[in-house]
Amino acid sequence: MTATNMEDLVSLCKRRGFIFPSNDIYGGMKGLYDFGPMGVELKINLKNSWWKSIVYERDDVEGLDSTILTSPLVLQHSGHEDTFSDPLIDCRTCKARFRADQLEKSECPRGGLLDKCKSKDLTEARPFNLMFKTAIGPVDDGSSFAYLRPETAQQIFVNFKNITDSTSRTPPFGIAQIGKAFRNEITPRNFIFRVREFEQMELEFFVKPGTDEEWHKYWLDKRLQWWSDQGVNSQKIKLLEVEKEELSHYSKATFDIMYEFPHGLEELEGVANRTDFDLGSHTKNQDDFKISSKVKENKDSTTKLVIQDLETKEWFIPFVIEPSAGVERGVLAILNEAYTVEEENNRTVLKLKSHLSPIKAAVIPLKRNNQDLVNLANKVKSELQSLGLGRVMIENSGNIGKNYRRHDEIGTPMCITVDFESLENQSVTVRDRDTMKQERISLSEISSYYSSYFKN
């Protein structure tokens, strides 16, 4: 049986050190979560898997790590200052705020769904900009400020020339970035699904105009395959083509990859055809180039964001295909898929894909603080750790049943027990998380056994 509700996941995440409410001991802050010892490893593994498939396994993508603090000029010319908003409605009776497009799902702070509240007295909807601002420099008089970026994409566009100059890339090629993004969501909710601080994994893939639709389809297929490789059941994925009137200001077409989260079908990743809007908006000398999208005049940019077509010698502004995924939503989908209750075995087990497991192997001395067993266990741990496949840990609590239960719940693929026989014949017992089968492996073979398990 897999997880059927969010409470199961929230409880496991807290109990086993995946995710905690942020600023917890001071009452917490809405829409903010911290990733604990297991959560941080899961996140790192998910991000590494994305980076591997998007950058290392290809030859046409470069990486970037840009700043979070962003100049207002960037977000003015990207269109975010004018349009990055959600419709906000206030209730005059209880002073609560709601998103106008989510009223039917909204909870009244007095309890129950808003629709059922008799005393609701709502204002008209008005746009509420979702960007966070912060003062720059020692004087906070509003004259010098930066935004906390609401997406990682804009800094990719702004670095376009730096990257093409330093790498000699020409389309088709991409720039990938993983990092924090911030949105002052009106109603953060559903655990880590909608939060105010989160991470995005974004690829901006630059192509020649006219080849954009083909590349859009290509990236959509690639991304669906990747989610399946992370253990997300394709049966729970639905593709939604965003309707023309709901498209973002920059988009010609967008597919939302929707997933059946415990709270309902919602967006996991967006794959958009952003046309030449972004580079066209941020380039100088806009009139010198054919820009197909509607861009506003830019008198601030110091740089032309163009590429020369090597055959025609004409300078052009590439189109952009953007797969943009949220790390937190990915973690939530993956935990939901992996969460398994086996009543027959009286256990809860996270059947994570092994490359995502926070702990790759737990090495357990059978008897707590027995120096010979602990020394040998430490030796096994160091040997496996040095292979660089992820975190290996020692469990020196002496309670093997408890250790198995804990490692089942955090998704550790193998538990390696060092017992008294190990001291005599240099072998250990390896227990498999999913089958619970145990086998005896010689210490001379443990490294190759472990490596081949994780490399397969």
Instruction: List all residues 6 or more positions away from 384 whose beta carbon is below 8 Å from its beta carbon.
Output: 360, 361, 363, 392, 446, 447, 450
Confirm or reject binding of residue 195 to ligand ATP (CB under 6 A). yes
Q: Which of 39, 270, 323, 358 binds ligand ATP (CB under 6 A)?
A: 270
Min dist. Cβ of residue 267 to ligand ATP (A): 5
Q: Which is nearer to ligand ATP, 212 or 395 (CB)?
A: 212
Confirm or reject binding of residue 326 to ligand ATP (CB under 6 A). yes
Q: In this chain, which stretch among 55-63, 225-233, 322-330, 369-377 interacts with ligand ATP, using CB under 6 A?
A: 322-330
Do the beta carbons of residue 327 and residue 201 sit within 8 Å? yes
Min dist. Cβ of residue 201 to ligand ATP (A): 9
Confirm or reject binding of residue 271 to ligand ATP (CB under 6 A). no
Confirm or reject binding of residue 269 to ligand ATP (CB under 6 A). yes
Confirm or reject binding of residue 169 to ligand ATP (CB under 6 A). no
Helix (H, G, I), strand (E, B) or coil at 291: coil
Q: In this chain, which stretch among 100-108, 204-212, 268-276, 307-315 interacts with ligand ATP, using CB under 6 A?
A: 268-276
Confirm or reject binding of residue 329 to ligand ATP (CB under 6 A). yes
- Write the single-letter amino acid at 10: V
Q: Which is nearer to ligand ATP, 325 or 377 (CB)?
A: 325
Q: Which of 212, 276, 328, 408 binds ligand ATP (CB under 6 A)?
A: 328
**Alpha carbons 366 and 399: distance in angstroms, whole number:** 8
Confirm or reject binding of residue 129 to ligand ATP (CB under 6 A). no
Burial class (CB in 10 A: 0-12, 13-18, 19+), 56: exposed
Q: In this chain, which stretch among 160-168, 266-274, 285-293, 338-346 interacts with ligand ATP, using CB under 6 A?
A: 266-274
Do the beta carbons of residue 393 and residue 338 sit within 8 Å? no
Instruction: List all residues 6 or more positions away from 58 whose beta carbon is below 8 Å from its beta carbon.
Output: none
224's tokens = 């669906």
Rg (CA), the chain: 25
135's tokens = 């003062």
Q: Which of 198, 250, 259, 277 binds ligand ATP (CB under 6 A)?
A: 198
**Alpha carbons 98 and 135: distance in angstroms, whole number:** 27
Confirm or reject binding of residue 224 to ligand ATP (CB under 6 A). no
451's tokens = 């490596």
Confirm or reject binding of residue 408 to ligand ATP (CB under 6 A). no
Among all residues, whose Cβ is closest to ligand ATP? Answer: 326
Size of the site for ligand ATP (CB under 6 A): 16
Confirm or reject binding of residue 183 to ligand ATP (CB under 6 A). yes
Confirm or reject binding of residue 200 to ligand ATP (CB under 6 A). yes
Burial class (CB in 10 A: 0-12, 13-18, 19+), 254: buried
* Residue from 34, 37, 13 nearest 23 by CA: 34
* Residue from 309, 115, 85 nearest 206 by CA: 309
Query: What does the binding site for ligand ATP look like in residue numbers (CB under 6 A)?
Result: 151, 183, 185, 194-195, 198, 200, 267-270, 324-326, 328-329
